[in-house]
Chains A and B, each alone.
Chain A
C-alpha cells in the first residue's frame, strides 16, 4: 500500500535555530501534501497545503515566514521551522493522497516530535 515517510521522527533543538522536516511519498507521486500540527491531547490542525512546483497555501494564523514549505519534487515536501521557540514544540505530521482517485484517503507519515529548549 501507499507509504508516506517522514524524517526525523524526533528532534530537539535550541531556541533560535531552524529545523527541517522531510516528507516523502515512497511509492506514488504526490502533487499535493499536507502539513499538520498536533498539540498534546488535541486534534490535528492543518497548517498548510504544499503544492509541487508552486507556493504553499497556508491556513489562517499560520506564519508562512516561520514555517517554510518547499515541494521541490513529486515525492518530497519539506517543512522548515525557522527561529524555533519553545512554543513551536509540537508533533508535526505530513500526509499525502494517492493520485488514483480524487476521493482516496490520506496517508500519514509517522510524524516528527519537535522539542525546542
Chain B
C-alpha cells in the first residue's frame, strides 16, 4: 500500500525560528514529490521535486529530496506568523496523475 508519512504532525515555534518538516514515502513507481501549504482553504503549491540532491528554494523556504532514503525535508528559515499553516507532502506516481498525501504538519508560528 502506498504511504506518505509526515513528521512532526504539529509544531509550535516563535517568530524567527527555523523549522524543518519531514516527509517519508513508500510508493510504487515514484515520479515526483510535492509540497503544498494549506491555510484556510485549498492547498497552494510550493515545490515539486523529482531528482535527488537538488535543492529547490523560494525565499525563506527550501526543500530537498533523497530518493535513496525515500524522504524529503522542507525548511523554513526566519519564520513569520504568516507561515502558520498546514504543510502537506504529496507523492505522484508515473501511472496516472493521482497524488498520495501525507497527514500534514500543522505549523504555528507565535509572535
Q: Interface on A for B, CB 8 Å cutoff?
A: 6, 9, 32, 34, 41-46, 49, 93, 97, 103, 105-111
Q: Are A103 and B103 in contact (CB under 8 A)?
A: no
Q: Interface on B for A, CB 8 Å cutoff?
A: 31-32, 34, 36, 41-45, 48, 50, 88, 90, 92, 96-104, 106
Q: Are A49 and B96 in contact (CB under 8 A)?
A: yes
Q: Are B42 and A111 in contact (CB under 8 A)?
A: yes
- How many A-B pairs have beta carbons closer than 8 Å: the answer is 50
Q: Are A43 and B45 in contact (CB under 8 A)?
A: no
Given that A34-B98, A46-B98, A105-B34 are contacting pairs, would A111 and B45 also be in contact in the complex, using a CB cutoff of 8 Å?
Answer: no
Max chain A Cβ within 10 angstroms of own Cβ: one of B48, B50, B99, B102: B99
Q: How far is A52 from B44 in the complex, measured between Cα atoms in Å?
A: 24
Given that A43-B104, A103-B50, A105-B34 are contacting pairs, would A111 and B41 also be in contact in the complex, using a CB cutoff of 8 Å?
Answer: yes
Partner of B97, one of A44, A106, A110: A106
Given that A42-B103, A43-B101 are contacting pairs, would A103 and B45 also be in contact in the complex, using a CB cutoff of 8 Å?
Answer: no
Q: Are B31 and A103 in contact (CB under 8 A)?
A: yes
